[in-house]
Amino acid sequence: AQSVSQHNHHVILSEAASLELGCNYSYGGTVNLFWYVQYPGQHLQLLLKYFSGDPLVKGIKGFEAEFIKSKFSFNLRKPSVQWSDTAEYFCAVNGAAGNKLTFGGGTRVLVKP
């Protein structure tokens, strides 16, 4: 069975600070990896995804993530956050046969203006 772990449940930082959210997964086979964001009162939106190729992927709104296979990790980064980045961030994995997406527990990010 596949599982996803997000290390930080809550992160508070100031505008212009750098952000890094950790994500580790457990699954022995080939995986597809995703980061989704849920802004307050809004629906889940795809930030970025990794299927294969360059392990450093760039997404929308200045976010990027790095897939490190040896560490089973897919950490999300943004060099300089804005107040509008306040949201909940979910890492997700689809590794099993079929199309079953498993989410991590989420990280609530609060950016202080």
Partner 1 sequence: DTEVTQTPKHLVMGMTNKKSLKCEQHMGHRAMYWYKQKAKKPPELMFVYSYEKLSINESVPSRFSPECPNSSLLNLHLHALQPEDSALYLCASSWLGAGQETQYFGPGTRLLVL
SS3 per-residue string spanning 50-98: ECCCCCEEECHHHCEEEEEHHHCEEEEEECCCCHHHCEEEEEEEECCCC
Residue number with CB closer to partner 1 (17 or 101)? 101
Distance separating alpha carbons of residues 86 and 78, to the nearest angstrom: 13
Q: Is 44 in the site for partner 1 (CB under 8 A)?
A: yes
Q: Is 94 in the site for partner 1 (CB under 8 A)?
A: yes
Task: Name which position in 52, 54, 70, 113 contacts partner 1 (CB under 8 A).
Answer: 52
Q: Is 42 in the site for partner 1 (CB under 8 A)?
A: yes
- Binding stretches for partner 1 (CB under 8 A): 32, 34, 36, 42-46, 49, 51-52, 90, 94, 98-106, 108
